[in-house]
Every structure is written in C-alpha cells, then in structure tokens.
Amino acid sequence: MPHPLFLPCQLGDLTLPNRIVMAPLTRNRANLDGDTPHSQHVRYYSQRAGAGLIISEGAQISAEGKGYFRTPGIYTDAQIEAWSAVTDAVHDKGGRMFCQLWHTGRVSHTQFQPDGQPPVAPSAIRADAQTFADGGMVDTSMPRALETDEIPRLVNDYIHAAKCAKAAGFDGVELHGANGYLLDQFFRSSSNQRDDRYGGSVENRTRILKEALDGLLTVWDGSRIGVRFSPFSHAGGVEPDEPMETFLAAIARCNSAGVSYVHLVEGETGGERTMEDRQIAVFREAIDGAYMANNGYDRQMAMDAVDGGADLICFGVPYLANPDLAERLAAGDDLNKPDPDTFYGGGAEGYVDHPFSVAEPVSA
C-alpha cells in the first residue's frame, strides 16, 4: 500500500491526488512589458501538474506591491489573460493551482514603484535586505509609512487581485503573510512601530490580516483560501519577536475566516530549521484547517511529517529541477540536481528543460 503522502486527500472541497505541494517560487522571468507570464510559464507550470497542488510564484496585487525585477502581477486585464493560459494548461493535465497574492511592502526599490515613489510599509523603517533589480542585487529603498486611511485601499487591492485570480481560472488563492513582506511587516514589532489601531498589541498588528481575509471571503469561499506564515524567519530584515504569541493570534484570525490551510515555513526561509519540534506541534494543533509544512523536506522527512500529523508537504528547490517531482518521490527515483545560477532570471535553461524520469506527459 502506498504511503499516505502519495495517496489522494481532501483540501476543503478539492480532491488532491497526493499530499505533495509545489511551493511558490519566484523565478524573475515575467515579460518586461506589463509584468505578464508568457509561453514559458505555461510550459513550466503544466510540466509540474502532477503535484497535488501548485502554488504560483508570488503575483503582486498592484503596481505598488512589486518588489523584484520581472515578477508577474495579478491586477490587470493583460495579466488575467496571460495567467489564464497557464491555468488552462495545468487543468488540461489534471492539475490544481492557487495564486499567491503578494505585496512586498518595504522589500522593494523606487525603480519598481509608480513614479519612483518610496515603497510603503507599516512604519518608515528601511529593511536590512536587498532585492533583485535590473542589473543585480541592490539595497532596498527607504519606505514611507502607510497612513491609517490608506489601509482600506490596500485591502481593496487584495480583493481586486483575488477577483483577477478567479477570472484567470485559478482554483484558489494563497495570501502571502510570510518572509518579511508587507503583512509580515505588520505582524512584527521590529518593523511595525505604529500607534494607531494597526500597531502595538498583537491584536492590532494582526488586524490587517483579518481585514484582508474578510475581503478575500467576498470573492472566494474559505475552502479556496490559504495563508502563508514564517514565524521564525529573518527574511526581509524582520525579527522573529514573540513568534508563538504573534502567530498563534494570526492563526486564530485564519480559523475565524475558515481558511482551507495554513502554510508554515518551519525555520529560516530557505535556510536552517531553527524552530523546535514542540513549537511546530503547538502551531499544528492550533490550526483548524489543513497544516502545510515547508522547509528542506526530502522524501523520508515528508513521509515522517505526514505520519506525525502534517496534512500537506510543500517542496520548493526540488521542484526547480524536477518537473515530475511527485512522481519521482512516489517511485523512489533519483532527483535531478538544480543549478542555482538559473534560479532567477534568464530563459528556458534551468526553467523548462529538465528531463523527466520517464517522459513528459501530454495534455489530457
């Protein structure tokens, strides 16, 4: 009998063929004109349709939400049309795909912002971080603090992006509340020093999460919404202060909204698993929906985690070089090795040219 990792399961009202999830992976290959995906994105994602669920690379919810060179958006008609070709191809191969809704906040640069304006953030505190720009890595720009009366406009941007994701044929959305980006900046006292209803207490710092989720629920049922957190990560220059108190409160917000899953980065983003197992167990027990585990998983770790109560296992780097990762893991096959030089930017090399274990599947 196959291990439960490789067997069908329910995620809300969706039946997944396995518990293996393709993580959201920024690849910096969108069209320069309009921040749209293109034909290579269609092939890239459809190659990976064997995953139980694909989560798209982060798609900025507005021009203001952009923080990196050549990342796609999900807020214009052209972007809807381009993403529709991607979701159609994934569905043609029997896959399911959520769109990750992304606002980078202060992890940005003036060159990406409309009219060269400063990026926005909870507070005017520059991130101790860099971003990928035209020509290489650059220090992030000094942000300006969002005014209290701007928050409804920001929530409306999430709502609009959610509507665009539905129009583009996605099966659901993931709200990006991790890795030092805008929502995560609100959660942390190191980046949020506001004295209004969005700063200070844990309740106030997670208020924007509640408002964003309430907005998404006007577009999608909770069974088609997930949320990503990274309680222990320093990504984007944030400090993991009071991670248990802060993120148990954030999880309670997710439970109230009835979201389908909570996606947790277990430790440093793309780095060491710095948390303790007991902390993960506390978070897992607090989540009403599915628990999606992420960070450095291999086949045996994934099976052990499912045996220990995780519902879904998210794989990132292995999916870069293994379009048929789910099938390889199920068969116990060897994996292709990814080339870090091709992770960000570029063309087909290191993106859509990795060999399949058997043969690349055709559309259904």
Q: Which residues are catalytic?
A: 181
- How far apart are alpha carbons 92 and 57 in whole angstroms? 20
How many alpha carbons lie under 13 Å from residue 329 in its C-beta half-sphere?
A: 30
- How far apart are alpha carbons 220 and 354 in whole angstroms? 35
Helix (H) or strand (E) holding 137: strand 136-139
Nearest CA to 228 out of 170, 174, 168 is that of 174
DSSP designation for 73: B
Structure tokens that stand for 359 in this block: 């043969």
Burial (CB count <10 Å: 0-12, 13-18, 19+), residue 187: buried
CA 325 to chain CA mean position, Å: 19
Write the single-letter amino acid at 43.
R
Structure tokens that stand for 217 in this block: 């629920």
Extract the runs of DSSP E, i.e. beta strands, from 178-231: 225-229
Tracing tokens 């978070």 back to the chain, one arrives at 283
